[in-house]
Structure 1
């Protein structure tokens, strides 16, 4: 069955985004505790490209499949988890890239480079890192992973933040500062 990406984020209502998020069937990686560990020989570059043994993985369906198996532990180590194996994966910055944002009411929805949709809020906070000269914005995705906002998405969010007095945004009742602490 061919993959059908979701419509453009701007064309979706927040209710449609929420339905698509709820309908996505992801593997229960947080429930798996495989005994076998190893190295996947994979790397996710800072620009979101995936590599295996030095060669780029060019099939989007493969990237989406691997991305659905990602976790990140408390030490910042990323893992590809299956019921029988837990394989380390090198991540240069963030496992995902947020490529678009849409605001509807008091809620922000992000589209990722893997076509995943994330609604920011208490369970998916937006964080600012770096310093005031070179900040980086991230949104939590799932299982400890996060997405870095690309330049255009950062600019979109900055426009929204300029409407407030403190350069922050609100989503699902939570307030997020866009200036690193």
Structure 2
């Protein structure tokens, strides 16, 4: 069955987004204890492109499949995890790119470059790094992996912050997130 990406965020209600989030079936990485470790020979570039042994992976379905196996440990190392292997993967900046966002009914939904949808909140915090002149904004996706907001998504988030007030914060999932680098 061919993959059909979720509809455009701008046309979705909160209930439709929540349904899409719940429908995404991910492997139970936290239940697996693979016995072998090694290196995958894979890299995720800062622009979100995936590479294997120097060659770009051009099939979106392959990238989406691999992305479901990603985790990041407390030391910041990214891993591809299967039931039998745990392989390192080089990540230049973030495992994902946030390509769209929308405020809907008091929450902020993000779409990643792998068509994953997440709501910012306690389980998916927004983090700002960098400087005032060049902020780098991230949202946690899952298993410690983050998505860096691309420029247009950062501008969308800035518009949401301005609509919510003038203190460069946003509220989502009952949490307040500062958009100013710490």
Q: 2:150 aligns to what?
A: 150
Q: CA deviation at 1:148?
A: 0.2
| C-alpha distance in structure 2 between counterparts of 1:156 and 1:24, whole Å | 25
| C-alpha distance in structure 2 between counterparts of 1:161 and 1:153, whole Å | 12
Matched, 1:51 2:57: no
SS of the residue 2:142 aligns to: coil
Q: CA deviation at 1:67?
A: 0.1
| C-alpha distance in structure 1 between counterparts of 2:181 and 2:114, whole Å | 27
Q: CA deviation at 1:156?
A: 0.5
| C-alpha distance in structure 1 between counterparts of 2:177 and 2:118, whole Å | 15
Q: TM-score normalized by structure 2?
A: 0.98
| C-alpha distance in structure 2 between counterparts of 1:86 and 1:14, whole Å | 36
Residue ranges of structure 2 left out of the alignment (5+ in a row): none
| C-alpha distance in structure 2 between counterparts of 1:44 and 1:74, whole Å | 19
Q: 1:6 aligns to what?
A: 6
Q: 1:86 aligns to what?
A: 86
| C-alpha distance in structure 1 between counterparts of 2:176 and 2:118, whole Å | 16
Q: Structure 1, residues 100-144: CA drift from partner, whole Å, max 9, x if none?
A: 001112100001000000111111000100111211000000000
Q: TM-score normalized by structure 1?
A: 0.98
| C-alpha distance in structure 2 between counterparts of 1:12 and 1:28, whole Å | 28
Matched, 1:100 2:100: yes
Q: 1:175 aligns to what?
A: 176
Q: Structure 1, residues 7-52: CA drift from partner, whole Å, max 9, x if none?
A: 1111111111111111111000111111100000000000000000
Q: CA deviation at 1:168?
A: 0.5
Residue ranges of structure 1 left out of the alignment (5+ in a row): none
Q: CA deviation at 1:167?
A: 0.3
Over aligned residues, Cα RMSD in angstroms? 0.7
Which runs of structure 2 are paired with 1:156-167 in the superposition (5 Å)? 156-163=156-163, 164-167=165-168
Structure 1 moving runs of 4+ over 3 Å: none
Q: 1:134 aligns to what?
A: 134
SS of the residue 1:162 aligns to: helix
SS of the residue 2:176 aligns to: strand
| C-alpha distance in structure 2 between counterparts of 1:22 and 1:155, whole Å | 27
Q: What is the number of residues matched between the two proteins?
A: 181
SS of the residue 1:154 aligns to: helix
